[in-house]
Amino acid sequence: MATTDDARAAGPGAETGEYSHRQILTIISGLMLGMFLGALDQTIVSTSIRTIADDLQGLSLQAWATTAYLITATITTPIYGKLGDLYGRKRLFMTAITIFVAGSALCSFATSMTTLAIYRAVQGLGAGGLFTLILAIIGDIVSPRERAKYTGYFMAVFGTSSVLGPLVGGFLAGREELLGLTGWRWVFLVNVPIGALALVVVLRTLHVHAPAPQGRIRIDWWGAASLVVALVPLLTVAEQGREWGWTSGRSLACFAVGAVGLVAFVMAERAMGDAALIPPRLFRIRAAVVTLGASILVGVAMFGGIMLLPLYMQIVHGASPTESGFLMLPMVVGMMTASIGSGRIIARTGKVRTFPIVGSAMVTAALLLLSLSSASTDLVWVMAPMFLLGLGLGQCMQPLLLTMQSAVPPREIGVATSSATFFRQIGGTVGVAVFLSVLFGSVGGNITQAFSDRADDPQVQAAMADPGFTDQIDRIQDDSSGIERLPEAVAFPIKQGFAESMDTVFLLAAGAGFLAFLILLLMPTVELRSTSASAAARADVPAAPEP
């Protein structure tokens, strides 16, 4: 915990809560490296996951690697936010980076999709603190209206990682061996030197005031434990329900345990009051309730689109991991354009309500257009809705966070930030589990139907006459690398089957986007603060009596 002397050593900004432009840039340099670490990992893994899953013989199990990461990142998000409000964020941020790097190193030694999922869960324990603490620290030192000046820096980092990620991921995933290890293992090892550099930079540059705990500190461990009990079984059944059967004994047991955990979590939060991970009083603020509800649905739509699009490019259009990363650029450009543009308008006008409403409408329209794609759709017609999707997401993410941070008392900006992030990740985690379940639960039938529709083709007839035809279709769902080696007449129905299953998922994601749009229509007008949360919090503290 930082002392008063630490604050003085950090400079006048750490004592008063008002930081100069130069001080802010110095602090941001460390935050940007942490953001680069997390963002680069996401783009590298998303474009490499097919190669990784094929090598580990578990394409249909890839949801576990993604879901395990999202579960632990989601569960720890509110914990990092609350502890940051209580003890300060610098040491927590460094701890998060350390755990993330350790998890990355473990992932590089995975021998199956099961062990990869376990190590990704460790990685997620650190990831839960990266973006949450970065956003909370920015809220500490920069007012919501002035934040647009610095949005460009973070979007530049995000854009750079979006370009480098596919390049690096594609290069590494495409190598049979590199320095004695399979190429894709370096997808995770590359985080180690970046993380080490981030720790050094953060240690030297991140000087922010740490709050002095007042009275007895209570940690909501019961809330954290019940949150685990609620989320893990519910997300497990979301992934495995198609295999077990939604009304099977195991599925019903998971639903029951999850419901008990959810009730226990609500009771724990009520009992903890102000010390809760997600204080119940947040739900008495209309703007906060609307933001949290919309964040869940935006998370469903966002993670669904970002997760599916690389798979669509690689499986349906035969793109390499590197090519699929480049093909994602229209969405990235749309997000950067909308985020920077909306930020500048918000800084000038102070009005934020319109942006997430328009953004959610764009997300819905984009996903509806993507649901019309097929195996024969020209990529040019896929790029346009991807750009529209990026424009929509860019108008949802920052404006919703600004609304949440301005709707709560300044001293609770960590809780507000982590709550908004937590609910968006809940939506994303559930969305990924359900969407991948729908995808792989329907793709076998769709492929068989696609073959039946082309049964007059001699090559297709020969393929269907093979006694091992059904087994081959099942194997393709675990290792799709063989699709490109098949004759086009045989490969096309397989691609069409995947495309039709993905269309269903895009349609479901569009439904989530539309529900977000309806909820956001209820958003009240929120006045953005013109001072940083740190300065506002100090202004709320009564002056000490003179001796």
Collapsing DSSP to helix, strand or coil, 112 comes out as coil
Query: Where do we find the tokens 């930081």?
Result: 19
Q: Is the pLDDT of residue 142 over 60?
A: yes
Place 533 in a pLDDT band, splitting at 50, 70 and 90. low
Q: Check residues 91 and 159 and name the one with the higher pLDDT.
A: 91
- Residues contacting residue 178 through CB under 8 Å, at least 6 positions apart: 172, 186
Q: Which of 20-24, 32-36, 138-142, 296-300 shows the highest mean pLDDT?
A: 296-300
**Amino acid 102: pLDDT:** 93
Q: Check residues 360 and 194 and name the one with the higher pLDDT.
A: 360
Q: Is the pLDDT of residue 520 over 90?
A: yes
Q: Is the pLDDT of residue 514 over 90?
A: yes
**Amino acid 6: pLDDT:** 43
Q: Which of 255-269, 298-312, 477-491 shows the highest mean pLDDT?
A: 255-269
Range in 243-257, 360-374, 470-484 with the lowest mean pLDDT = 470-484
Q: Is the pLDDT of residue 4 over 50?
A: no
Encode pLDDT of 75-107 as tens digits. 888 888 778 777 778 888 889 999 999 998 998
**Amino acid 74: pLDDT:** 78
Mind spelling out the 3-state secondary structure of 122-189? HHHHHHHHHHHHHHHHHHHHCCCCCCHHHHHHHHHHHHHHHHHHHHHHHHHHCCCCECCECHHHHHHH
Rounded (to 5) percent helix, strand, coil in the chain: 80, 0, 20
Q: What are phi and psi of 541, to 5 degrees?
A: -85, 125
Question: What burial class does residue 179 get, using C-beta atoms within 10 Å of its C-beta: 0-12 exposed, 13-18 middle, 19+ buried?
Answer: exposed
The 8-class DSSP code of residue 450 comes to: H
Mean pLDDT throughout 222-240? 80
**Amino acid 363: pLDDT:** 93
Mean pLDDT throughout 253-277? 87
Encode pLDDT of 410-421 as tens digits. 777 777 777 887
Q: Is the pLDDT of residue 388 over 90?
A: yes
Q: Is the pLDDT of residue 535 over 90?
A: no
Picking from 205, 51, 8, 138, the residue whose alpha carbon sits closest to that of residue 398 is 138
**Amino acid 365: pLDDT:** 95
Q: Is the pLDDT of residue 152 over 70?
A: no
**Amino acid 545: pLDDT:** 39
Q: What is the mean pLDDT of the chain?
A: 78
Q: Is the pLDDT of residue 165 over 80?
A: no
**Amino acid 438: pLDDT:** 83
Q: Check residues 12 and 198 and name the one with the higher pLDDT.
A: 198
**Amino acid 57: pLDDT:** 66
Q: Are 418 and 82 in contact (CB under 8 A)?
A: yes
Range in 308-312, 371-375, 533-537 with the lowest mean pLDDT = 533-537
**Amino acid 472: pLDDT:** 67
**Amino acid 522: pLDDT:** 92
Query: Where do we find the tokens 């959810």?
Result: 262
Q: Are 136 and 82 in contact (CB under 8 A)?
A: no
**Amino acid 156: pLDDT:** 67
Number of other CB atoms surrounding residue 471 within 10 Å: 10
Q: Is the pLDDT of residue 449 over 80?
A: yes
Q: Measuring CA to CA, how many Å separate 352 from each of 257, 302, 347, 418?
A: 40, 20, 9, 20
**Amino acid 543: pLDDT:** 41
Query: Where do we find the tokens 């290069």?
Result: 171
**Amino acid 358: pLDDT:** 94
Q: Is the pLDDT of residue 131 over 70?
A: yes
pTM of the full structure: 0.76
Q: Is the pLDDT of residue 3 over 70?
A: no
Place 211 in a pLDDT band, splitting at 50, 70 and 90. low
**Amino acid 137: pLDDT:** 81
**Amino acid 140: pLDDT:** 75
Q: Check residues 368 and 78 and name the one with the higher pLDDT.
A: 368
Place 468 in a pLDDT band, splitting at 50, 70 and 90. low
Mean pLDDT throughout 458-478? 68
Q: Check residues 257 and 156 and name the one with the higher pLDDT.
A: 257
Q: Is the pLDDT of residue 356 over 70?
A: yes
**Amino acid 155: pLDDT:** 66
Q: Check residues 540 and 289 and name the one with the higher pLDDT.
A: 289
Q: Check residues 489 and 78 and name the one with the higher pLDDT.
A: 78
**Amino acid 148: pLDDT:** 59
Percent of the chain with pLDDT over 70: 78
**Amino acid 511: pLDDT:** 92
Picking from 187, 268, 280, the residue whose alpha carbon sits closest to that of residue 230 is 268
**Amino acid 10: pLDDT:** 46
Collapsing DSSP to helix, strand or coil, 434 comes out as helix
- Residues contacting residue 269 through CB under 8 Å, at least 6 positions apart: 220, 223, 276, 277, 278, 279, 280
